[in-house]
Structures are given as structure tokens and as C-alpha cells.
Structure 1
Amino acid sequence: MINEKQQQVEVPVFVALDFAHAHEARELVQKLGEHHSHYKIGLQLYLAAGRAFVSELESEGKSIFLDLKFHDIPNTVHFAVAEAAKLGVDFVTIHAGGGKEMMKSAVEAAHHHSLPQHQTKVLAVTLLTSLHVNDLVQLGYMTTDLVKQVQRLTYLAQDCNVHGVVCSAHEVAAVKASTGLKTMVPGIRTSGDAKGDQARVATPEYAVQCGADYLVVGRPITQAANPVQALQELKALISGSQHETGEMNV
């Protein structure tokens, strides 16, 4: 559970711009306008719109989570993260499964190539929120305990000085109990939303109560009839959850 100090800090919501064209993403950003400043750009939009769109959003004062999940040899990942850092993004993702040398190379690149006064932070993806226990068996992991596997990868990431990890809400408490790393939590669904291709989903209230530092929300907002209202309602749920948790801890 989050403590009273944590509940006083707003949990940023990164809206996932999972679109095939820049104009679709731009239209949503314009709709949300001054109501929002945090956005996630993933593989689809980055391949469709490229660096130019990232720079466009940053010129408007937006905070960017570049979620490209790099997973390659250390040298390749080093230079990929370096390019992301030169763009001035706030966060960039790598796969913890790439190993310690790869993660260390990514952190080093972010440290040396970030823009002045703007440090790009590296997040290590533990287990994709689309995976479940049966997938661990098929992948040959030594455990079928999702939480333990996330913890194992988190320990490795912490040794490499990454800023935080990407995990589902269901593993946040375990991550917080064993490390001081920040947690970026995708797979957020409000009550009644369909899971889609996600396996380990959670409500925003639950994620915040578990101690999530950042949330990633896509379809509940991007596919809503009124995205502005959907975002406002989601933020209200988060705020209410923090208030209730804070009262419980007083």
C-alpha cells in the first residue's frame, strides 16, 4: 500500500498513442489539449511518424515515454538508447531479459547522451502484461510464479542502475518491497473495460494503492467516445484512491 507521503504526489498517466498515423495521434493530443501532457509513443506510431513526431510533441511541452523495448546486443542497444536520449524523451524502455551488460550499456548511453538539464531515464521491461503462467512454461522459465520471475528480473535491473521497471499492477508491491525502483504500470482498465490482448490487467485504483509510480493507459481513453471525459474520470479515480489510502494510513 502507498504511504501518506506517496499519496500527496500525483501519479502521472501516460496516454498510449497507439495509432497507425500521426494525424490520428495529433488529433487526440489536440482534443486533450491543456488537460494532459504525458504521452507514450510505441513501435507502431514511431515507425509510422518517426523522430519528427516525437520532436513535435516535445515542442509543445509534452512529456514523452518512448516505449520501443530495445532487446539486442549491448553495443546496439547502447547506440539506440543514445539516439533516444538525444531526442530528449523522458523515458525509454529496454527488456530486462537482455541481460546485465545490455542494461548497463543502456544506462550508460542515457547518462552520456541526454540533453542538458533533461536526463532520459531507462525503464526495464520485466514480463509483458500479455503473458500469463502458461507462457512462462512455454518459454522455459525455471519458475511458474509470475511475481518471483518479475522480482528476479527487477533485482538484475537494480544492479544495473536503471530508473525503474515496467510490470503489471499485480507485481508492484513485490517490486517495492524488495527494491527502490520506480514502477511504470501498463494494462490499466477501468471497471467494465474489455481486457483485449492483455492478461494481467488492473484498475487504476488498484495500481495506485499497490504503489505504482506511473500509469500507462491506452484503449480506455483512445477508444472512448469522449476521450477528455474518460481521462478526467480516470484521474478522479486515481485521486480518490490516493485520498482513501492516505486516510487509512493516518
Structure 2
Amino acid sequence: MNTSADHQVIVALDFADRSAAEALVARLGGACGFYKVGLELLTAAGPDLVRGLVDRGHEVFLDLKLFEIPNSVAGAVRAAGALGASMVTVHSMGGTGIMTAAVDAAREFPGLRVLALTVVTSMTGSDLTDIGIGSGRGGSGSGSGVSTDEQVLRLARLAAEAGCDGVVGSPREAGPLRRLLGPDRLIVTPGVTLPGGETGGEAGGHARSDHARSDTPWAAFAAGASHVVVGRSVTRATDPVAALRRVAAGPRGAAGR
């Protein structure tokens, strides 16, 4: 997998139709090497969009968040590999069975990496308590349940044991995840924010308030993230190319905003 700067920043194509997505891709041109395609755009535009991106030399992060029986997950991963995707996500809360099935299926496609989604960036400890994930211990934002930090690391450990190539977590967890997973596994961080409240997205290009555990892309990289996912800060910018270059340049580039 390409690890150059233009491939470490993934632009989220969180659009409702193919024409809007392709217009942005055309506008960014060679400035972007990696795009995220989620369920909304995949459903609206179909797999040909992914094939087209790959044929033009782009890498694609196919963010499916697969959470199904192992056989169905394996089939979806094989389909992602056949499209030429570089990354595909499975939901770690589905357990070791689906993660192992995904990893086994991906072996047919040497360029495909399986990432386990830990806890989505919109969730807090109280949300985990609401769905019955708790230990009676205090945790940040949880009151009386398990903290998001605890749950993220627990799921990341399971993902590593299942053989996943990396995980998806918030920027605030990049450091603990890197210490847990070591230097080689991928850590992809959506939910990044830029000065002024601009956001980098998960599905739908969510507003800043939807990301309960956010930080800047530069903090995420400094803490150990291998990739960051940016959304509105680039896709809705007056000059998307300049906005993307500011993210890739780091804090010094942001100073010129």
C-alpha cells in the first residue's frame, strides 16, 4: 500500500449521487491519491464508481462496516477485493468470527487490507451503557459504564488476534492504539476537525457535533495514525485542492489559512 503523503489523507466521498462525487474527483485531480466510498454513495452509484477510481490510479477505502454472519462478510470482502479496493471495514463488535472470515477472504487479494471498526466517533461512554456494554467502572463520558477508551482497546486487541491489518478509531485513541498494536498495523482516523470547526467525516459528512471524540488530523498523525479521513473541510471548501494540501502539510500549512 502506498504510504506517501497524498495517500495518507483519505478524502471521504460522502455524496448522495455519482455526479457530485466525480466532479470533486476531477477537481482534485492528482492532489488526492485515496478516496473513501461509504454505503450511501455505493448504494446510489453502484460498484462501477469504485472500479473507475481504481482504473484512474486511485486507492479506495470501501467503508462498508460489515456486520453480518461470517459467510456473508466473507462474500462482501471478496467482492471488495474484486473491485480493486485497498481497504474494507468490518465491525469489530460482530466478534472474532466475522473478523476472521474477512481476513481469510482477503487473502485472495494481496492489495486488500481488512480494518476493524472499533467504536464510531459519534459514540460516548453513555451510548455504550445504553446498549448494554458496561462494567460498573467509571469511564470518561459514561457515568457508570465502560469508557470508550476501554472498549476501543478491547476491540482492537480482538481485531489484532483475528489477523486484521488495522483498525478504525477516533483521533483521540490513535496514541493508545499505536502503543497496543505496534508499528506495523494501520490506524485510520475519521472524525478529524480543523480550526474553525471544519470536519473530516464518517458516513454522510457529519457535522462537528456528531463527532464526540475528535481532534485535528495533525494530532492524529503525531499520535500514531497511519491515515486520516477528511470530509467537509475539503469537499465543501472554496478551493478543495488548497484545503487538501493544508491538511497534508500539517500545522505549518494550516497557519496560512
TM bin (shorter chain): 0.7 to 0.9
TM-score between the two structures when normalised by the length of structure 1: 0.88
Task: Report the counterpart of residue 196 of structure 2 in structure 1.
Answer: 192
RMSD: 1.7
Residue type at the aligned position of 2:231: G
Is the aligned partner of 1:168 residue 2:170?
Answer: yes
User: In the alignment, is the contact (CA less than 8 A) between 1:96 and 1:126 conserved in 2?
Assistant: yes
Q: Matches of residues 145-156 of structure 1 in structure 2 within 5 Å?
A: 145-156=147-158
Q: Is 1:38 aligned to residue 34 of structure 2?
A: yes
Counterpart of 2:46?
Answer: 50
Deviation at 1:144, TM superposition (A): 2.5
- Give the Cα separation in 1 of the matches to 2:55 and 2:49: 10
Q: 1:138 aligns with which of 126, 130, 136?
A: 130
Question: What is residue 66 of structure 1 aligned with on the other side?
Answer: 62
Paired AA for residue 20 in structure 1: A
Q: Does 1:129 align with 2:121?
A: yes
Query: Which protein, 1 or 2, shows the higher relative CO under an 8 Å CA cutoff with sep ≥ 6?
Result: 1
CA distance in 2: counterparts of 1:176 and 1:198, whole angstroms:
21
1:210 counterpart residue number: 223
What is the CA–CA distance in structure 2 between the aligned matches of 1:151 and 1:239, rounded to whole Å?
31
Output the CA distance in 1 between the equivalents of 2:62 and 2:230: 14
Structure 1 counterpart of 2:221, one-letter code = V
Q: Deviations over 1:114-159 (max 9, x none)?
A: 2xxx421000000000111211111111242111110100110001
Q: Distance in 2 between matches of 1:238 and 1:59?
A: 33
Separation in structure 2 between the aligned mates of residue 196 and residue 26 of structure 1, nearest angstrom: 28
The alignment partner of 2:90 has SS state of: strand
1:230, CA displacement in angstroms? 0.8
Residue identity matched to 1:140: G
| Unpaired segments ≥5 residues, structure 2 | 135-144, 199-207
Aligned partners of 1:38 and 1:239: how far apart in 2?
22
| 1:68–1:93 contact (8 Å) kept in structure 2 | yes
* Number of the residue aligned with 2:87: 91
137-146 or 53-62: which moved more? 137-146
Q: Which has the higher helix share?
A: 1
Contact 1:111 1:119 (8 Å CA) reproduced: no
For residues 179 and 204 of structure 1, the distance between their equivalents in structure 2, rounded to whole angstroms, comes to 20
For the 8 Å contact 1:123–1:165, the answer to whether it is kept is yes
Q: Which runs of 4+ in 1 moved over 2 A?
A: 8-11, 238-241
Give the aligned residue type for 1:182: L
Which position in structure 2 is the counterpart of 1:247? Answer: none
CA distance in 1, matches of 2:179, 2:253: 24
Give the 3-state SS of the residue equivalent to 2:225 in structure 1. Answer: coil
For the Cα contact (< 8 Å) 2:124–2:212, is it kept in 1? Answer: yes
- CA distance in 1 between partners of 2:231 and 2:169 (Å): 16
Question: How much has 1:210 moved relative to structure 2?
Answer: 0.6
Q: Give me the whole-angstrom Cα distance separating, in 1, the residues matched to 2:196 and 2:28.
A: 23
Structure 1: tracts of 5 or more residues without a match: 1-7, 242-250
CA distance in 2, matches of 1:9, 1:221: 19
Question: For the Cα contact (< 8 Å) 1:89–1:120, is it kept in 2?
Answer: yes
2:217 and 2:102 map into 1 onto residues whose CA distance is 30
- Which amino acid in the other structure matches residue 184 of structure 1? V
Q: 1:238 and 1:45, CA in 2 relative to 1: closer, same or farther beyond 3 A?
A: farther
Code of the aligned partner of 2:133: Y
Contact 2:246 2:253 in 1 (8 A): no
Instruction: Quote the sequence identity (%).
Output: 40
Match of 2:18 among 22, 37, 46: 22
Q: How many residues matched?
A: 230
Q: TM-score, normalised to structure 2's length?
A: 0.85
